[in-house]
Chain A
Amino acid sequence: DTAVSQTPKYLVTQMGNDKSIKCEQNLGHDTMYWYKQDSKKFLKIMFSYNNKELIINETVPNRFSPKSPDKAHLNLHINSLELGDSAVYFCASSQVELAGVAETQYFGPGTRLLVL
């Protein structure tokens, strides 16, 4: 069974469009994340949600809006897509740390977005 899944796997769209990427985790984790990996393969966090509350927003343009209907889902909606948004977007999840328990992030397979 897939632990963290993302849809779609590939997304090719015209500049200016609005699109959404979906993420679901079946691990029972409390925290989910969105990362962006650019063409240079540098991975940078965009958002983090803990129990449906946004706890990190790393100066991402407000065209990007994460939405978490429940703690198993964290979707990413992007308005007015720009050429520079082309990248691979990864969703991840982790359990909120309990004392003495290691916390590992589990990543989805990624969504490859290409803006034309």
Chain B
Amino acid sequence: KQEVTQIPAALSVPEGENLVLNCSFTDSAIYNLQWFRQDPGKGLTSLLLIQSSQREQTSGRLNASLDKSSGRSTLYIAASQPGDSATYLCAVRRKGSTNAGKSTFGDGTTLTVKP
């Protein structure tokens, strides 16, 4: 059974800092890994998706890496801003007989960026 863990559970940093969020998973037979952002009381917004054959994806100030062999992914946020404050979730999609296999979510890291 796939288990996804995110560390730390909460993170508070001053504005402008670079930071790293961690996601680890127990079963390396994954199809892809996706990072989401959830604002309080809102739905999930997809940030980056990394296919199992890829090692990283970049979008603006965000960079996500994937190391399948060690079961790890990191989300790097450069030059953090107060608007980055949210909960960040990683989701791992299982490799299986159907491409619409389920995603297992981590518990999330709640990020607070102080002005």
Contacts and interface: CB of A to CB of B under 8 A. Distances in A.
What is the predominant secondary structure among interface residues of chain B facing chain A? strand
Most buried by A among B31, B87, B100, B105: B100
B46 A105 contact: yes
Contact of A96 (B34, B36, B42, B100): B100
Given A41-B87, A41-B108, A102-B51, A107 B103 contact: no
B99 A109 contact: no
Contacts of B89: 43
A105 B102 CA distance: 11
Given A103-B32, A103-B49, A110 B43 contact: yes
A66 B12 CA distance: 39
A55 B98 contact: yes
Contacts of B91: 43, 105
Q: How large is the interface on B (under 10, 10 to 19, 20 to 34, 35 or more residues)?
A: 20 to 34
Interface residues of A, number: 28
Contact of B100 (A41, A43, A55, A112): A55
B103 A45 contact: yes
A104 B100 contact: no
Contacts of A96: 99-100
Contact of B99 (A97, A104, A108): A97
Interface of B: 31-32, 34, 36, 41-46, 49, 51, 87, 89, 91, 93, 98-103, 105, 107-108
9 contacts: A40-B107, A44-B105, A56-B101, A90-B44, A96-B99, A107-B36, A107-B46, A108-B43, A110-B42
